[in-house]
Each structure stands twice: as C-alpha cells, then as structure tokens.
Chains A and B, each alone.
Chain A
C-alpha cells in the first residue's frame, strides 16, 4: 500500500469541506447551541446538589463538553459507501487502483482533520471561556486521552463502514443506520457518563464496542477511569479497532465477489 495516494485523498477531502461554507456555519451554530443547552441542563440538575453519583458539576460539564466534541467525529464513510452502492458509483470506484475501504477511511480522516481545526478547536475555546473546562487530572491522563481519542475516532469510522458494507446486501440501509445512530448516542456515553446508568447496563456496555467511542477517552480525561485502569481501557479500544478493521475488510471482500447489479 502506497501511503501517498491516501494522503492526497485525505487532503482533497479537506479542500472539499472548505467548499461548503454554509454547511460549516450551520453545524458550528448547532453545536454551539448544544453546548449551551447542556450547560443549562446540568446547572438545573445540580441546583441543590454538590454532586450526582459522586461527580461534581465542573467535572460533569467537562465531560459533557468533551463528549459533545468527540461525538462530532462520528463516521460518515459508511454513508458515503452506502450512497455509492445505491447510486452505482461503486462501479467507478472499483476501477481505481486503490482499496475502496482505505480510500473511504482516508477521506474520512481528512474530513475529521478539517472538522478538528475548523470546528472543534474554536468550540473548545468558546466552551473554555464561557462555561469552563477542567484541566486533565494528570499528564498521564492527558497523553492517554490523546491516544484514546485517535482510537475512538478510528473505531467510529469502522463501525460506520460496517453499516455501509451491509448495503451491498440490503441496498437501503437507512433503517439500520438510524438504529446505529440511536444505539451509539446512548451506549457510547455521548449524552451522559455511563456511570450514571444502572449497574446491569454498565456491565452490558463493558462487552460492547460503543463505550470505546466516547466514554472511555472522556472518562480518562476527567479521571473517572482511574490511572490504574487507563491502559487496560486503551488496550480494549485497540482490540475493538483491530476486530472491526478485519471484520469489515472480510465482509467487503466477500461482498465484492458476489456483487451483481449496479445498474447503468
């Protein structure tokens, strides 16, 4: 695999993102709104309390802000693949000398890079100035957080790609993709920390990949995952990334072999 072409694809995706200014401002606006809604929501919850399940308000806000940021990095590669399959563009893609999954991954990472610089950083500044974000609990937590975020973003793309590959079989994956969105929103901890859920729910999410998407990196940052548990959590993330990477590739290879009608 030659890396250069994939880097070129990622860079080109960044340029494409630049082309849609209106979309950019709309999404900036909606995330800013979401931040402030979260702020007022948690203010109300903490009105007469100093903590909820042992979590202080400032920690909760930090969690909510970081989780919202990270939630912006959900994959879009799967939707792109589903679109290609449904509208027949996949035929052209298969004529190209690259692995389609790698191409989609590269484009997705490009899109996420531009999201990071154009949306995440400015929003983080807004949040720090107007709401307040706690610093990471330790240097170790900070560096582990960085690693964990990268793995979480990769995993999000791979899960999304899995749904995309399934559209080789069902063509229309809209329902599946709505379900996936809902499951991820709740089970990843994007809304509230998983520790607020009942015990059985937490046990279930231990065995599912979704917690690795948001909860793990953010909880590492806020110290909810203690220093002793950090490396195990990251190892689990790594395991999920590897498992999905292999599974999606196998499924894709199998699908391409039995591809039938593309129309046109």
Chain B
C-alpha cells in the first residue's frame, strides 16, 4: 500500500488578535473591555505529499507558511481540517509523531545552548532513543558532509550563524526522521554554506527517502533542492506543481532591456506592437517583455535597432524569482 507522507485536508487556522486603541487611554480601556479581531491565517489548504518528495513551500511574509508548518508539526492546533503524517495525527499523538519528524526553524535553536555540539548530539540520541551504533554511523556521516569536526567541542552559544545552522541541520536529521520541515534554513548565510546545506539536504533525502518541506525566500534553494513547488498567498495555495512544469510555463518569457542614447525618445516599431509589453521601470532603461515563441529575440532586436538610437541592449531570461513574482501577479493555478 502506498501511504502518503503528508495528507492535509481543509486546513484552517485563525488567530485572535487583541485590538487596542492607541495611547494611555487605550491601554486603560483595554484593561476592562477587550476587542478581538479574527485573522484567518490559513484558509483551507489541501496537500498530498508522497514519501521522498522535496517540496518548496513559498509565499510572502505572512502568507501562512510558518503557521501551516507548525500545524503539520503538531505544535499548533488547527481550527478545522485534518493533518496526517504517515497516518498519525500530529496533534493527537504529538510524542509519537515527534519521533518521525525533524525540523529546523531558522531563528530558533534546537541545540542545547550551554553545552558543546557533540554533547547536544548525544543528548538528542537519548531523547529520540536512537540505537547507539546507528547514531554513531549517522554522526560520522554528517560530520564529514557538513564539516562539523572543528565545531564539536564548542558550546553552541559560541558558534557563528553558519556554523550553528550546519549543526542545526545535523540535529534535525540525526534520528533519521521520515519527514523534515526546514523553515528558512539558509537565511543570512554565505553562498558556500548555502551550497553545502543544499547538497546535504539532497543527499540525505535521496539516501533515506526523507520527505522535505522547505520554506525559503531564496529561490536558488528551491531550484536546487526541490522537485515540487507550492506557492501560498494569503492563506491559500495558488500554485502546486512540479518545478519543471513551472519553468516550462514561463520558459519562453524573455525581457529585452534597452538603453537609448541621451536625448532620444523611444519609439515602438509598428511591426512588433501587440507582441511585446512595456514594463514600468524606475530608471531610464526600457524593458520589453515578450514571448520567445511569438517573436524571436533576433527579430525584435532588429526592429528596435532600426527605429531607435540604441546605446546598449540585453536579453534577460527570467530567473525562478521572476517566475514566482509572475505567479503572484497572474495567479496561475495548476
């Protein structure tokens, strides 16, 4: 029987936010009467994620990503809907579920602040009841892949951000969880460490079939780690598909950036009207978005150069980031 790693149906979470008038008067008033405003952070989400899938879970700040992840982890109780992680309801059987999941919450440490990294790992081994030989094998592997050797005897509080994040990652995978939630694991890190971390996630997930849910604002993370993208906007899923599909959808999108000679004004050649779209820009450059299928770069450039005083031009192939931004604008749903 093929069991889903993560199965979510109709997930809803509301927050009660206390409203208070400004100033001292408001503070005093709030002592006696309290007004609440209901904010719906997650508005009915369905997810089916197969074992071993690596899913990029993205959206603007406040889109409901962290809230969803906390509900998946069993830390936050959903107001409606159901969550099952390998058949276990994480809120009803929190401890049982805790054994099969791992997590990195970007800003919060799960290591033990005052003791050296090595002892943190040992303690986690006891807490997760990992057999000793399996634990040693895992740790040896992680030490090599994440270059942890020089960090092992350092107390966690003395680690730099990059060092700490590597240790956090090791800690999250130490008990060989079936599902791992990574909430912004690369935030604020330099490119080398980002690369190390991405390679690590890929390798472990391939080796153990670990299901990974990754939230990030760095699209490079998604491109290099994930094979599926879910985009969340204002508590709703607006896109859910393979990463290749996303790329293909927008694959033929190009932008032509043009800088004109000083003093000359831009003129759009009649031959291309309707096939390009002029984008708004903040500087002098002129940006034309077009579809590679409708008009080739070469043809467009020829037409433009013919009737304008062009100083410089370049064709830009959109990056993942632009694709996502495009998604928010057009709201394409799969």
**Which of A2, A19, A264 is close to B66, meaning CB atoms less than 8 Å apart?**
A264
Question: Which of B50-109 touch A at CB < 8 Å?
Answer: 66, 70, 73-77, 94-96, 98-99, 101, 103, 105, 107-109
**CB pair A92 B105 closer than 8 Å:** yes
In the complex, the chain B residue whose C-beta lies closest to that of A94 is: B75
Contacts A19-B155, A88-B108; A262 near B75 (Cβ below 8 A): yes
**CB pair A95 B15 closer than 8 Å:** no
Interface SS majority for chain B: mixed
CA distance A2 to B129 in the complex (A): 9
Interface residue tally on B, bucketed by range: 20 to 34
Interface residue tally on A, bucketed by range: 20 to 34
**CB pair B108 A91 closer than 8 Å:** yes
Question: Which of A1-37 touch B at CB < 8 Å?
Answer: 2, 4-5, 8-9, 12, 15-16, 19-20
**CB pair A15 B119 closer than 8 Å:** yes
Note all chain A residues with C-beta closer than 8 A to B96.
97
**Which of B16, B77, B95, B128 is close to A257, meaning CB atoms less than 8 Å apart?**
B77
Interface-lining segment among B1-9, B110-118, B204-212, B278-286: B110-118
Interface SS majority for chain A: loop
Q: Is B126 an interface residue (CB 8 A)?
A: yes
Q: Is A139 an interface residue (CB 8 A)?
A: no
Q: Is A48 an interface residue (CB 8 A)?
A: no
Question: Which of B104-154 touch A at CB < 8 Å?
Answer: 105, 107-110, 112, 114-115, 119, 122-123, 126-129
In the complex, the chain B residue whose C-beta lies closest to that of A12 is: B123
Shortest CB distance A258–B (Å): 7
Q: Is A132 an interface residue (CB 8 A)?
A: no
**CB pair B16 A260 closer than 8 Å:** yes
**CB pair A95 B103 closer than 8 Å:** yes
**CB pair B127 A5 closer than 8 Å:** yes
Residue interface bits A227-258, CB-to-B below 8 A is 1, else 0:
00000000000000000000000000000011
**CB pair B95 A97 closer than 8 Å:** yes
Binding site for A on B (CB under 8 A): 15-16, 66, 70, 73-77, 94-96, 98-99, 101, 103, 105, 107-110, 112, 114-115, 119, 122-123, 126-129, 155
